[in-house]
Amino acid sequence: MKRNRKREQLRFGTVTKSLVVCICIATSGLGYVWQKNTIYRLGDEIKKRETALSSANKRNLMLAAQMAHLESPAQLEAECQQYNLSLVAPKENQVVRLYEPGPEWDMQMANAPLPAQFQQQTLGSQPKTLAKR
């Protein structure tokens, strides 16, 4: 006995399942395409940045060489002469030499008595005169 399929009501579960399956397949397909597209797009982006980085590195090297040339003693002397800068090395009497105190000085200072105004203060407290300033 044949059933009349036209009159038969669509089952919700079946339709939902079919839709879910279709959506999954469509999403997977679109997702795959989107991912592939993204991979290619990012690949192009990486390539562009690689090229830019390479160019920047090359330019950096070129500029470093230019800077080294400009900083070379011969070049600096030539520039000084060209612009008549009259630059000369300082004479010994124009030089003020500052000596870095060594460990001996530290020991000497550690054992030296404190000046009177600091003797009342404990370590960590701030002198009032300094605080006012």
Partner 1 sequence: MTLAPQKGRALIVIGALASVFLALGFRLFDLHILQHKELSALAQANREQVVHQQGRRGAILDANGNLLANSLSVRIVTADATITAPQAASIAEKLAPLLKTDVESLTEKLSGQSHYVRLNPRAKLDEDTVQKVRAMKLKGISFEDQFIRSYPNGPLGSHVIGFVNSEHMGVQGIEASMDDYLEGQAGYEIIEHDRKGHEIRALRDEELGPRDGFNVVLTVDQVIQHVAEQELDKAMVEFKPQAGVIIISRPKTGEILAMSSRPTFDPTNMDAASADARRNRCISDVAEPGSTFKIVVCSGALNEGIVSLADQFDCENGAFMYAGRILHDAHPYGVLSVEEILFHSSNIGAAKVGLRMGPARLAEYIRRYGFGHKTDIALPGEVSGIAHPLARWNSLSITRIPMGHEIAVTPLQMLMAMNTIANGGMRMKPMIVKSIVDQDGTPVLQYEPQQVGQVVSPRTCMLMTTALRKVVGPDGTAPKAGVPGFDVAGKTGTAQKVENGQYVRKYYSSFIGYFPASDPQISILVSLDDPSGGAFYGGSVAGPVFREVAEKVAEYLGIEPQTQQPPQAEVAKLS
Site for partner 1 contains 87 (CB under 8 A): no
**Which of 77, 100, 97, 102 minimizes the C-alpha distance to 87?**
77
Instruction: Please say which residue, 69 or 128, places its beta carbon nearer to partner 1.
Output: 69
Instruction: Please say which residue, 21 or 64, places its beta carbon nearer to partner 1.
Output: 64
Q: Which stretch binds partner 1 (CB under 8 A): 23-31, 62-70, 78-86, 111-119?
A: 62-70
Minimum distance from residue 102 beta carbon to partner 1 (Å):
16
DSSP code per residue over 86-110: ---PPPGGG----PPP-HHHHHHHH
Site for partner 1 contains 95 (CB under 8 A): yes
Give every CB contact of residue 80 below 8 A, 6+ residues apart in sequence.
86, 87
Instruction: Please say which residue, 101 or 113, places its beta carbon nearer to partner 1.
Output: 101
Which 8-state DSSP code applies to residue 121? S
Site for partner 1 contains 66 (CB under 8 A): yes
